[in-house]
Amino acid sequence: MRYRDQPTVEVEERVVGDPAAIWELVTDINLPARFSGELQSVEWLDGATAVAVGNRFRGHNRNPALGEWSTECTVVELEPGRRWAWRVTAGDNQMATWGFEVDPGREAVTVRQWARMGPDPSGLSIAIDAMPEKEGRIISRRLGEWRTNMEANLAGIKGLVEGAGTGAPAPAAQDG
């Protein structure tokens, strides 16, 4: 696995509920901070208040192995009621693209969250540059952390929609 290939991770959860209510949850930029072990808080920038192409927000993150950092994100795609995606940047570097999808079905709604690394260098690139022989392991571990937090987000959404409480926060990513 190579960073330059822009590795991707995707999780999905079937949720019994109203697609419009689920869409409202996945477009709430603060919702993942309730469930993720890494994302701590989020705020809209430049007076934005809702998901729309071009709107920007800042996320504040914490990871035991990586420390604390903030990123700026720009909504780059929107298909109302179905899909939205945002690009994570630091300066001119496009470090990742993330998205949510809502796919209504006959008996349940399939909710997906996905993320793709790159194409530009990110904080992960420092570790890869220092240990190029471990690039695949470094990427695999980071994708695993992303997967854990995405699974917590979708479990939280399922809990909110299906009335099973608010879901439990994801455990913080562990070193080692």
Q: What is the pLDDT of residues 44-66, one digit of tens each?
A: 999 999 999 999 999 999 988 77
Q: Is 173 helix (H, G, I), strand (E, B) or coil?
A: coil
Quick: pLDDT tens for 161-171: 998 544 444 44
Quick: pLDDT tens for 64-115: 877 898 999 999 999 999 999 999 998 888 999 999 999 999 999 999 999 9
Residue 40 included in any domain: yes
Characterize the bridge pairing of strands 8-15 and 83-90. unpaired
Q: How many domains would you assign to the chain?
A: 1
Q: Is 91 helix (H, G, I), strand (E, B) or coil?
A: coil
Residue 174 included in any domain: no
From CA 9, how far away is CA 98, in angstroms rounded? 10
Nearest of 86, 75, 76, 81 to residue 103 by alpha carbon:
81
Residue 97 included in any domain: yes
Select the more confidently predicted residue: 176 or 110: 110
Enclosing domain of residue 146: 3-162
Measure CA of the first residue to CA of the last residue in the chain; give whole Å. 20
The predicted structure's pLDDT at residue 134: 93
φ, ψ at 100 (rounded to 5°) = -125, 145
Residue 102 included in any domain: yes
From CA 113, how far away is CA 130, in angstroms rounded? 30
The predicted structure's pLDDT at residue 26: 97
Residue 41 included in any domain: yes
The predicted structure's pLDDT at residue 149: 94
CATH of the domain at 109: 3.30.530.20
Quick: pLDDT tens for 144-160: 999 999 999 999 999 99
